[in-house]
Structure 1
Amino acid sequence: MDFELRAAKEKYEREQRDKKEKARQRLDREKKLKEEAAKRQEAIDAAQRTRRIEEAGATLDAQQRQEEVMWLGDGIVFDKDYLGIPVPGNGDKLKLPASAFSELSSQNALDKGPMFFKVSVASERATASSSSESNAYRTEDMEANHTHAGVLEFTANEGFVEIPPHVWQNVGLASGSSSGLAKVKVCYVRLPKGTYAKLRPENPDFIDVPNHKAVLETKLRHHASMSVGDLLTVQHAGVDYGLRVMDLKPSSSVSVLETDMEVDVVGSGDNNEDGSSAQSRLLPLELGKSQTGVVPEGEYRYYKFSVDKTNGKAISSGELSLLVHLSVETSGGAADADVYIGAHPLLFPTKHNHDWSSHDKGSKVIMMTSSGREVGEGTFSIGVYGFSGTTSYQVLVEVKQAVQAPPGQKLGTRGSVSSPSSSHQQGEDGFEKCENCAQLIPHRTFALHEAYCRRHNVICKHPNCGIVLRKTEMEKHVHCGKCGQALQRDELEKHTKVFHEPLKCGCGAVLEMEQMVDHRASVCPLRQITCRFCGDMVQAGAEAENVRDRYRGLTQHESSCGSRTTPCDTCRRAIMLKEMDLHKAAAHGGPSQIESSLLSDSTPLSGQIGKITEHAGSNVRVADSQPYTPSHIECPICSRKFDGHETWQLNEHINTVHLSSQEEAASGMQVESSVVEETVNRFPFSTTKRTLSVACPICGMAVHSERDLSSHIDMVH
């Protein structure tokens, strides 16, 4: 009995323990579930709170952005995201889609003047939420770099904006994306007119540019705005220079349209990324002090030197000579270098474009004052070109007293030659002419000289040479088979390569070096000229399309640049720059140059073109051997065309068709104002009886306007 009771008791206790354990486990599970539910609820509440805070922040940011956009746009709201497309161009003007024009015009943005836009990069950033189960991502627009721009036209595709290189670079997209597109934000803003700018060159080379004002005006003519931090890339003589905008007034972003700005160009940022000093391409060279250097084959090393006013006057008068020495170390190899010299504004002379050069083998000397080109006060550049191998050299510029060089001597060569001429006149008493060397020799030593001369000397029989040489030197004396120049035998190969190997110009012309230099100085459309209107050194371009501009000797660039208008100083009328002298002569009685620029009736057209083009300046001279003859001549009144060599037909056509009808019409007019009649009667050729305001400065005939005066000069003069 007791055994059964104990077994029952143990069973009961075991069942109770099992029940308690199950109850405890159930309670633990329920507690854990409640804790997890509480955590989930807490996370949901936190996410909701964060979302509400972010939404409130986004709403506040949007409101602030809206207020900022409205304030920047002076009440006009335009803030769009576009896909930016890099396109070639010069300046900072965008191409926007047509919808942008509609939206802006609906807000009367056109009535507020020029439109400006703030351009920035719209980048995406991902942020993770605090939830342990999932991550939430959001896109946030961030304005990293920004700049300002104008608008060129509204012709871009919808959703895209075409961005020129200047804007593309200054918003931080210089390298571009893999697809060539970038998301940008374009916001309409109003900008004040700039009054002051401080610019810092990125390297010290810009200080050598002769006319900073003209270079900056040419660059900013294509710009609408400027912002602090922008990098302006200006070009002079085909070389790019970077200018960093350091300061602007009255704001950090200003308009450069129709405003006069004071510009300071401060010291260059002449430190490299590693902190070392950046070296200018033009190394300064003092007169009388030499510098050494090394130039690899096919590369240039440039130097600059200046001639002051005192030395300049002495050099111009012939009292002093200006010499450039280049000593080349030729020992141990065939290394050699050539030297090219250019007068500023030519900063970097090359074998295609230079004023002086020397290609002698080994060391060489250039006497700049013996070239026939005027040399005086100014700055000059020297280019040392590695002709073959890596060459060590020493360059020296010195000023010496002018000494008459012996006739026949070739400056810069190592061998000396004698001259067949003499300061004595043939037939002078006491002298006799040697038949071998053609020298005048005193009678007392003539027999001795003749015996010695016939034994040791010989005359070169090459046409136009006649140099007397030692018989041992005659073996080394040769002449170029193409140009006939006298050379040493070891110089012939280099001479042929330098002077007779064809060179290809960027315009497509293939010429030898001397012809190439003339080509680049006179007729090449890629040649650099100093524009008479903007003062900058720019590419000349092809011949002017306008016939009158060609008669005046204007290049394509000058024809376009001269078409810009500027207010007349006297009457404040907007006059084209190329017509300003005509306007002043006709309307204000000022000096005019039109008489020397226009054709006369008796002068053939083909004979005048070369003269007038050469009169325009050395930058646009035309060789006399190749006068310009137009393929056809067009009547400036009825546009009838005549062959280029039939100029008499054009003159007869104008006289019979246009001038006769003009005289008949003018003879029937009556005077309506006594004041005008007195003005007209002062000119005997004026038969016009209407109210006339402009008189021709050549013949005195009165016409109605400057446009009529222009037509009158074309027809008559």
Structure 2
Amino acid sequence: MDFELKAAKAKWEREQKQRKEEAKAKLQREKKAKEEAARLREALETAQTQRRLQEAQAVAAEKLQEERDSFDGDGIRFNVVLQATQVAGDGDKIKLPPSAFEHLSSQGALEKGPMFFEIALNIESPTATASEEWPDAIDNKITHCGVLEFTAPEGFAELPPHVWSNAGLSDLPLKECPYVRIRYMRLPKCTFAKLQPDNSDFADVPNHKAVLETKLRQHATLSEGDFLVIQHEGVEYKMCVSDLKPSANVSVLETDMEVDVVSIPGMASHGRLSALELGKPQSGCVEEGSYVYYKFAVDVKVLEALNRGDMNLIVHLEINEDGKGSDADLYVAAHPVLFPSQHQHQWASHDLGSKIIHLTGREKPLSSGSYSIAVYGYRGRAMYKVWVQTQPTGPVTGQRVGLASREMEGGSALQPGFEVCENCRQVIPSRTAALHEAYCRRHNIVCTHPGCGVVLRQEEFKKHVHCSKCGQSLQQEELEKHLKVYHEPQVCRCGATLERDDMVKHQASNCPLRTIMCRFCGDMVQAGKEAENFRDRLRGLTQHESQCGSRTSPCEVCGRAIMLKEMDLHRAAAHDPNSREGMVKSSVDANVTGDTHLAKQTKFMNCPVCNLTFEGAAADTLMNAHLDDEHFLRTTHHPVEQGQGDQDMNAALSSSYKRSLSVACPICGLAVHSERDLSVHMDMVH
């Protein structure tokens, strides 16, 4: 019995203990659940608070951005994200989609003048992977640009290379087109800019002002930190915009600005062109297919002596004979050509070994200023010395074989006691003629090639050859180089295939890719094709000059905005009294009928502007309407008043025409009312 009671008691104690443990575990679970619920509730409240804070910050940032956009845009807000694509082009003008034009025009942006935009890589890209793909783009670059047109596809912006690189897009490992943020801005006009070349090569450019004006004319804006890439005579010069005034981002449209070009401290003062002093040789070496450039200056005193024929300017190139068959060619050109080449030069020498070029003013007057020398490696690695010296001209000593006889043939007869050798055609004394002729026939040979006739020693004659294509006389060892240099077809950049001489002429006059000095901007630019305008072609303007000359400039006399290519015509027609008074008077007298009896009978009148004929009783009324409608003639009195007598009518015509015919055609002298009528007259008549 006691055993059963003890077993029951132990069982009851175990059950109580188990129930206590279960209750304790339940309490712990409930406590943990409450703690977890509290933690989750706190985390949720924290997340909601952070989200509300972020939303508030986003709203505040958006409001601040809108205020900033409105302030920067002078009341116009335009801030969009577009996918960027790179397109070819010069300058900083981008293409936007048509929707951008609608957005801007609806806010009156067109009335505020040229449009400028801030452009930068958009870090918060719609692809949501921009920060992963471009980890270094957090500190992205910002640049500014203008707009060329609104023809880009919707959702895209087309950027030229200048904007693409300065926005930092060229440094990205792009798998697809990046997204950029574009903001409309108003920019102040630039008054000062400091540019810093990345090397010393820009020192070679002779006319910095013209080159920079041509480059900046392609731009609408500048930003500090931007890099400008300037193309000049096929050479690229990279310049950093280091300082701008009055702001770090400025407009360069319709403004007068001061530009300073400063060099990097410690940079060499010369570029690719090494300076030569007269009479001082310089040594160097040139690899095959490469150029080494030099420059020298000709002052006014030396130039006058050269053009008078008192002095010659000689360029020497001495090739080191230890060069194991190496050879180099010599090219010389005057300004504005900076870097002479095989196809662009004024003087050249392709002789084997050392070379000499004589620059004289006999055939064509030389000009003062800089001259460039190019040493071209023709074969192997050539060691050389190059120098320039002046040499006074003097009487020629000695006489070339055969020269005297040709002079005698074209001049006076032989003097008594002299005769002409039948072999060498020299004039010799008669007493030694037999001895001379026997010796001459034994040792000298006359070249029988048409047009040559040179007399040479037998050993020299064996080396004497003529080119089978052009007939030039050469030494045997020079023939191979002559055929390669002069007669091997060469392909121009424009696609033309020509021999050397034709190629030089082609690139000097016909090639659309040739470099010319524009008569309007003064820069060395590509000529382009023929001008589209017929009158520009008659003026001899190239495609670039036709476009560049279409820019306007105020006339210094009357202040009117005149196209640069029409400025000479405007001055001659509107401001030259010597060419106007007689022209106007003769034109009026020729166009106004002076025979009153004939006017009574025929009522025949001609328009003094376009020479249109009016006949019949209403001829005066018709011509009045024609002058008003077609030629925009506005005077206090009509040129022809109805009801006047014939004599009074002619007097009124003459007086009114003399008041209104203010521009005379410089070709035929016809006087017209305005320069617009002059342009129409020249197109129709001349």
Instruction: Tell me, yes or no, whether TM beats 0.5.
Output: yes
Q: Which residue of 2 aligns with 1:568?
A: 555
Q: Which residue of 1 aligns with 2:263?
A: 267
Counterpart-to-counterpart distance in 1, 2:125 and 2:39 = 29
**Alignment counterpart, residue 334 of structure 2, candidates 337, 343, 363:** 343
- Residues 663 and 21 (structure 1), Cα distance of their counterparts in 2 relative to 1, 3 Å cut: closer
1:159 aligns with 2:134: no
3-state DSSP class of the match of 2:203? helix
Q: CA deviation at 1:80?
A: 0.9
* Contact 1:235/1:241, CA 8 A, preserved across alignment: yes
Alignment of 1:547-558 (within 5 A): 547-558=534-545
3-state DSSP class of the match of 1:367? strand
Counterpart-to-counterpart distance in 2, 1:111 and 1:56 = 36
Per mean C-alpha deviation after superposition, the further-off stretch among 1-10 and 63-72 is 1-10
**Alignment counterpart, residue 662 of structure 1, candidates 611, 614, 622:** 611
Q: CA deviation at 1:376?
A: 4.3
Counterpart-to-counterpart distance in 1, 2:237 and 2:481 = 35
Q: CA deviation at 1:178?
A: 3.4
3-state DSSP class of the match of 1:102? helix
- Residues 118 and 553 (structure 1), Cα distance of their counterparts in 2 relative to 1, 3 Å cut: same
Alignment of 1:140-539 (within 5 A): 144-174=140-170, 178-179=174-175, 181-267=177-263, 280-331=271-322, 333-369=324-360, 372-403=363-394, 418-422=400-404, 427-428=414-415, 433-441=420-428, 449-539=436-526
**Alignment counterpart, residue 706 of structure 1, candidates 661, 675, 684:** 675
- Residues 39 and 250 (structure 1), Cα distance of their counterparts in 2 relative to 1, 3 Å cut: same
Per mean C-alpha deviation after superposition, the further-off stretch among 164-173 and 559-568 is 559-568
Q: CA deviation at 1:183?
A: 0.6
Q: CA deviation at 1:429?
A: 6.5
The CA deviation string for residues 163-182 of structure 1, in whole angstroms up to 9 with x for no partner, is 22221121111256635522
- Residues 269 and 518 (structure 1), Cα distance of their counterparts in 2 relative to 1, 3 Å cut: farther
- Residues 402 and 54 (structure 1), Cα distance of their counterparts in 2 relative to 1, 3 Å cut: farther
The CA deviation string for residues 454-512 of structure 1, in whole angstroms up to 9 with x for no partner, is 33322222222222222111111101011111111111111001101111222232211
Q: CA deviation at 1:384?
A: 1.9
Counterpart-to-counterpart distance in 2, 1:658 and 1:407 = 75
Counterpart-to-counterpart distance in 2, 1:512 and 1:448 = 48
Counterpart-to-counterpart distance in 1, 2:609 and 2:179 = 67
The CA deviation string for residues 99-158 of structure 1, in whole angstroms up to 9 with x for no partner, is 2222222222222222111111101399x9xxxxxxxxxx99967211111222222222
3-state DSSP class of the match of 1:386? strand
The CA deviation string for residues 558-615 of structure 1, in whole angstroms up to 9 with x for no partner, is 222222222222222222222212212222126889xxxxxxxxxxxxxxxxxxxxxx
Could you tell me which amino acid in structure 2 is paired with residue 62 of structure 1? E
Q: CA deviation at 1:310?
A: 3.2
Q: CA deviation at 1:40?
A: 4.4
Could you tell me which amino acid in structure 2 is paired with residue 102 of structure 1? E
- Residues 658 and 694 (structure 1), Cα distance of their counterparts in 2 relative to 1, 3 Å cut: closer
Q: Which residue of 1 aligns with 2:600?
A: none
Could you tell me which amino acid in structure 1 is paired with residue 106 of structure 2? S
- Alignment TM-score, normalising by the size of structure 1: 0.77
Per mean C-alpha deviation after superposition, the further-off stretch among 229-238 and 705-714 is 705-714
Q: CA deviation at 1:211?
A: 2.2
Q: CA deviation at 1:250?
A: 1.3
Q: Which residue of 2 aligns with 1:83?
A: 83
Q: Which residue of 2 aligns with 1:92?
A: 92
Per mean C-alpha deviation after superposition, the further-off stretch among 9-18 and 92-101 is 9-18
* Contact 1:97/1:157, CA 8 A, preserved across alignment: yes
The CA deviation string for residues 280-331 of structure 1, in whole angstroms up to 9 with x for no partner, is 3323333333333333322222222222333333333333322222223454
* Contact 1:125/1:140, CA 8 A, preserved across alignment: no
1:693 aligns with 2:680: no
**Alignment counterpart, residue 574 of structure 2, candidates 579, 587, 593:** 587
What is the percent sequence identity of the aligned residues? Answer: 56
Could you tell me which amino acid in structure 2 is paired with residue 361 of structure 1? L
Q: Which residue of 2 aligns with 1:649?
A: none
Counterpart-to-counterpart distance in 1, 2:83 and 2:579 = 54
3-state DSSP class of the match of 1:506? coil
Per mean C-alpha deviation after superposition, the further-off stretch among 19-28 and 462-471 is 19-28
- Residues 477 and 552 (structure 1), Cα distance of their counterparts in 2 relative to 1, 3 Å cut: same
* Contact 1:203/1:269, CA 8 A, preserved across alignment: no
- Alignment TM-score, normalising by the size of structure 2: 0.80
* Contact 2:465/2:473, CA 8 A, preserved across alignment: yes
Counterpart-to-counterpart distance in 1, 2:576 and 2:255 = 30
Q: CA deviation at 1:22?
A: 6.0
Q: Which residue of 2 aligns with 1:608?
A: none
Q: CA deviation at 1:551?
A: 2.1
- Residues 75 and 457 (structure 1), Cα distance of their counterparts in 2 relative to 1, 3 Å cut: same
Counterpart-to-counterpart distance in 2, 1:70 and 1:661 = 54
Counterpart-to-counterpart distance in 1, 2:371 and 2:609 = 57
Counterpart-to-counterpart distance in 1, 2:85 and 2:265 = 31
Counterpart-to-counterpart distance in 2, 1:325 and 1:140 = 55
Q: Which residue of 1 aligns with 2:107?
A: 107
Could you tell me which amino acid in structure 1 is paired with residue 75 of structure 2? G
* Contact 1:200/1:269, CA 8 A, preserved across alignment: no
- Residues 664 and 106 (structure 1), Cα distance of their counterparts in 2 relative to 1, 3 Å cut: closer
Per mean C-alpha deviation after superposition, the further-off stretch among 450-459 and 556-565 is 450-459
The CA deviation string for residues 636-680 of structure 1, in whole angstroms up to 9 with x for no partner, is xxxxxxxxxxxxxxxxxxxxx999992855997699999999xxx
Counterpart-to-counterpart distance in 2, 1:435 and 1:362 = 36
- Residues 315 and 124 (structure 1), Cα distance of their counterparts in 2 relative to 1, 3 Å cut: same
Query: Gaps spanning 5+ residues in structure 1: where?
Result: 129-138, 272-276, 409-417, 594-656
3-state DSSP class of the match of 2:611? helix
Q: CA deviation at 1:550?
A: 2.2
3-state DSSP class of the match of 2:75? coil
* Contact 1:311/1:376, CA 8 A, preserved across alignment: no
Q: CA deviation at 1:202?
A: 2.6
Could you tell me which amino acid in structure 2 is paired with residue 378 of structure 1? G
Q: Which residue of 2 aligns with 1:58?
A: 58
Q: CA deviation at 1:531?
A: 1.6
3-state DSSP class of the match of 1:156? coil
Counterpart-to-counterpart distance in 1, 2:282 and 2:5 = 124
Counterpart-to-counterpart distance in 1, 2:579 and 2:208 = 29
Q: CA deviation at 1:346?
A: 0.8
* Contact 2:317/2:384, CA 8 A, preserved across alignment: yes
Per mean C-alpha deviation after superposition, the further-off stretch among 289-298 and 257-266 is 289-298
Q: CA deviation at 1:695?
A: 3.2
3-state DSSP class of the match of 1:71? helix
Counterpart-to-counterpart distance in 1, 2:322 and 2:577 = 66
1:545 aligns with 2:509: no
Counterpart-to-counterpart distance in 2, 1:54 and 1:674 = 76
Could you tell me which amino acid in structure 2 is paired with residue 386 of structure 1? G
- Residues 295 and 14 (structure 1), Cα distance of their counterparts in 2 relative to 1, 3 Å cut: farther
* Contact 1:124/1:140, CA 8 A, preserved across alignment: no
Per mean C-alpha deviation after superposition, the further-off stretch among 69-78 and 460-469 is 460-469
